[in-house]
Structure 1
Amino acid sequence: MRFIRPMIFIVMALAIGTGGYLLSTHPTAGNAQAESSALPTAYIETNAVSASFKLGGRITEILVHEGDTVQKGQVLARLQSSELEAKLAQADATVALAQGKIAEAQGAKAAAQAKKQQAAAGVTVTSETVEQQIAQAKAAVDAAQAKVDGLRQGARPEEKKQAEIQYEAAKEVYEIAEQNLNRMNAMLEEGLVSKAEVDKVQVSYQEAKTKVELAEQQLQMVNQGPREEEIRAAEAMLEQAKAALQLAEAGREQVAIRQGDVAAAEAAIKQAQGALQSAASGEKQAKAAKAEAQVYVGYTELTAPSDGVIISQTAQPGELVGSGFPIFTIQTTDTPWAKFYMKETSVAGFKAGDNIRMKLIATGQEVEGTIQSISAAPDFAVKKATQTAGQTDVRSFAVKVGLRQMPEGAAVGMTLQWIGATEG
């Protein structure tokens, strides 16, 4: 027994010495492990968006599934749309009806304008024609009246004197012509002139004879005065001229009628214009209703809000979903990022834009990124001092680091470990 106790002491001394030697020969092993466990970690993340219908309804089609890659605007699912399509067809019909009313109103307006132009032209033509007819009728009345007056009064002394002068002149011409003819006949018998020369004188003789007879008759008429039947005929012509004047003056009523047609056409134009405005307003309302129906029909298709990958699906065909209910969650293809939570003592000296080195835990691959933002973490992340003497609270900060690209072989959700700022 007395040898066992000294042996135990010797073994213990050797163990202590060996441990001290190992610690002195590998001084960084424990520090490295401690340091490794103290470095913060974060997960690789990307933005995720929800895809939901803008109105509620029953799902009729699901066109994608979890894991599918989609592009922005791609149709993902559809709702039952028969009722909305019926409303759209009704809106189309209403638009067509409104456009038909517009065309009808435009036609009515054009017809009224044409009628107004026609009536206005008729007023001008009728007015001018009537006034001309009245003027002509008045002139005819005046002429007929003058003739009647002249017949009733008989020939004036000047007219009688003029008739006598004309008769005497014609008589003298006749006597001379007669003498010439007798002389020419005598010379013809003696063979001094030809038959043709005698014939010429004979013609002059007949003309002179006719004129003297007419002048004699005119002189007799002037001296005797007009016959009763001539006076009655002239009076009848006067009455006829007066009747024509009354008829022409009555034509002025046609001008008033045509002016009334112009006023009626103007009223029809205003009425057509009102109908046109009403139809145009109806068309606008119908088009607005159609546009609204088209919008709601468009809402029956769920489209991808961005490029990405479907990571979750929460509804199936046949299910009734409400407006805004998330049908799919899409992991976008934006630049990946990681958010590290660190003590304020570790964040000091860093700023947005600094380049950071990290390590992908799964593969050990080193990854580089850039600090995008540094923000204070919520109050619950503050480390409170356990004692008041010489200790202070320590706050945590969120450091968001954007990765330059997704590391090869990495996936969203894998762990990154903070290493520190890049050298240089």
Structure 2
Amino acid sequence: MKFIRPIIYSAMAVVIGTSAFLLTSKQAISQTDPANQLHPTAYIETNEVSASFKVGGRVTEVLVKEGEPVKKGQVLARLQSTEIEAKVAQAKAAVSLAQGKIAEAQGATATAEAKKQQGIAGVNVTADTAEQQVAQAQAAVSAAQAKVDGLHNGARPEEKKQAEIQFKAASDVYAIAEQNLNRMNAMLEQGLVAQADVDKVKVSYQEAKTKRDLAEQQLNMANQGPREEEIRGAEALLEQAKAAVKLAEANRATVLVRQGDVTAAAAAVQQAEGAIMSAQSGEQQAKAAQLEAETYLSYTELLAPTDGVVLSQSAQAGELVGSGFPVFSMESTEKRWVKFYLPETAVAGLKVGNKINMSLLSTGEKVEGVVSIVAAAPDFAIKKATQTSGETDIRSFGIKVELNKLPDSATTGMTLQWIGKTEG
């Protein structure tokens, strides 16, 4: 046993020494071979991404398989969404209800505004009519007074002349009353005044007509000479005319009443406009709730984050998964690259943006890419100088080349060989 151990140790020493010599020789050949320095190789690389749901739930559908190519945005799987769909429907119903309230409030506003405008028109008409009625009644009083005075003084030429004047005044009052009645009837047809207002004007018209007829009779009596009953009749007409003046002056108060109606209608307009604003605010809140529910509903579909190939599947239909759980692992095919390591003596003048020619080692097909990174490699990649006179340390640089388009035969992990920078 004592003699076996030295033999074993000696054999191990020979093996180690031989290996060290061969390794040293290989490194020397590699460092001095220009082909290995200027035409290095690298593997095609890409990003590996995970596809996860934003919300947790039970998987109801799995729509892709491992190894299947997918496009960005493609639906990969779905979660159970009954409750969220119910919330979406509820939110849509709330939006419809809010929109109905807006329409209702807009209708109320239009109605209140119409009443306001109608009230304003009524105030103007009533004010004009009241002033006309006062003027009319005062004219009738003057005519009646003149009639009575004429009867008392007897029928003289002057009285006859006065009777003629009274008749003329009564005729003018009658003409005014007739014009007022015609105008009120026209406004009644347009819905601008009430029937009660027309009735008042109609009464004035009848009074004016009666007074005109009486004035005509008085004129006739002046020509024929007054009688006692005529005098009493004239005095009665005078009292009636005075009463008409008081009634016309009292009608002026209705203007204030109608102005109050206008104020109330304006307040109703403001209230209705406030209801519109409130309903619109409710609609905005309902739409926000609908958008939130629809957003959560969209989270129940798992979409491919990139173009690529499904590498692995971590959940099956029927399983519960949590938010962020990687259901699928994918290899992205949107962007692929290779990373070469060249000595600093071979990268002089190489810049980001240069086009690089390469070849697919397995088929010899040409591949083109663009330099995206030129960076010094770590210290362990520095080629140390030997004891030979004149040699210096040589540092390696990592050259990342993004691939424009790969042949159909190329897949991630295959080897590309550096040919060189494209001239021009």
TM range (shorter): 0.5 to 0.7
With over 3 angstroms needed to count, the CA separation of the structure-2 counterparts of 1:116 and 1:423, relative to structure 1, is closer
Q: Deviations over 1:105-148 (max 9, x none)?
A: 11111001111121111112222222222221111122122222
> CA contact under 8 A between 1:343 and 1:397: conserved in structure 2?
yes
Alpha carbons of 1:422 and 1:139: their partners in 2 closer, same or farther (altered >3 Å)? closer
Deviation of the 1:266 alpha carbon: 1.0
Tell me by how many angstroms 1:155 deviates: 3.6
**Structure 1 residues 149 and 399: alpha-carbon distance in aligned structure 2, compared to 1, 3 A threshold:** same
Unaligned ranges ≥5, structure 1: 1-29, 161-216
Partner of 2:303: 303
- The 2-side partners of 1:350 and 1:60 are apart by 53
Separation in structure 1 between the aligned mates of residue 391 and residue 349 of structure 2, nearest angstrom: 22
Matching residue of 2:250 = 250
- Residue-by-residue CA offset, 1:159-206 (whole Å, 9 max, x unaligned): 69xxxxxxxxxxxxxxxxxxxxxxxxxxxxxxxxxxxxxxxxxxxxxx
User: TM-score, structure 1 length as denominator?
Assistant: 0.67
Offset, 1:34 = 8.3
Q: How does 1:148-227 map to 2 (within 5 A)?
A: 148-156=148-156, 222=225, 226-227=227-228
Deviations 1:59-111 (A, max 9, x none): 22211111112222221111222222222122112211111111111111100
**Partner SS for 2:45:** coil
2:70 aligned partner? 70
Q: 1:61 to 1:359 in 2, by over 3 A?
A: closer
Aligned-partner residue type, residue 369 of structure 1 = E
1:238-287 per-residue CA deviation (whole Å, 9 max, x = no partner) reads 22222222222221122111111111111111111111122122212222
Structure ID, larger Rg: 1
Per-residue deviation, 1:421:
5.9
- Give the Å deviation of 1:395: 3.9
State whether residues 48 and 331 of structure 2, in contact with CA within 8 Å, keep that contact through their aligned partners in structure 1. yes
Matched, 1:369 2:362: no
Q: Secondary structure at the match of 2:65?
A: coil
Q: What's the CA shift for 1:226? A: 3.5
TM-score, normalised on structure 2? 0.67
The code of the aligned residue for 1:280 comes to Q
Q: Secondary structure at the match of 1:411?
A: coil
Contact 2:61 2:77 in 1 (8 A): yes
SS of the residue corresponding to residue 283 of structure 2 reads helix
CA 378–97 in structure 1, closer or farther in 2 if over 3 Å, else same: farther
The answer for the alignment partner of 1:95 in structure 2 is 95
- Partner deviation per Cα, 1:13-38 (whole Å, 9 max, x = no partner): xxxxxxxxxxxxxxxxx969984777
**Using the alignment, how far apart are the partners of 1:378 and 1:423 within structure 2?**
26
Taking the TM superposition and a 5 Å limit, the aligned residue runs for 1:318-337 are 318-334=318-334, 336-337=336-337
Q: Distance in 2 between matches of 1:243 and 1:95?
A: 64
Which of 310-319 and 350-359 deviates more?
Answer: 350-359
Q: Where does residue 137 of structure 2 map in the other structure?
A: 137
Letter in 1 for 2:375: A
Assess if the C-alpha contact under 8 Å between 2:367 and 2:406 holds in 1: no
Task: Say if 1:421 and 1:232 are closer, same or farther in 2 by CA, change over 3 A.
Answer: closer
Whole-Å Cα distance in 2 between the matches of residues 42 and 386 of structure 1? Answer: 25
Percent of aligned pairs with the same amino acid: 61
| Contact 1:52-1:324 at 8 Å conserved across structures | yes
CA separation of 1:417 and 1:95: change in aligned 2, threshold 3 A: same
Mapped to 2, the partners of 1:398 and 1:414 lie a distance apart of 19
Q: Structure 2 CA distance, aligned partners of 1:379 and 1:32? A: 19
1:259 is matched with 259
Question: Judging changes above 3 Å, is the alpha-carbon distance between structure 1 residues 50 and 146 closer, same or farther for their aligned structure 2 residues?
Answer: same
Residue type at the aligned position of 2:308: G
| Residue 272, structure 1, aligned to residue 272, structure 2 | yes
Give aligned pairs, total.
Answer: 334
Gaps of 5+ in 2: 1-27, 161-219
Tell whether 2:281 aligns with 1:281. yes
Distance 1:393 1:62, change over 3 A: farther
1:207 is aligned to none
Query: In the superposition, relative to structure 1, how do residues 419 and 139 fare at CA in structure 2: closer, same or farther (>3 Å)?
Result: closer
SS, match of residue 46 in structure 1: strand
Match of 2:108 in 1: 108
Residue pair 2:44, 2:416 contacting (<8 A) in 1 also: yes
Q: Which amino acid aligns with 1:376?
A: A
Deviation at 1:404, TM superposition (A): 5.6
Distance in 1 separating the partners of 2:159 and 2:371? 131
Question: Conserved in 2, the CA contact under 8 Å of 1:357 and 1:422?
Answer: no
Asked if structure 2 preserves the Cα contact closer than 8 Å seen for 1:359 and 1:418, the reply is no
Distance in 2, Cα, partners of 1:32 & 1:264: 102
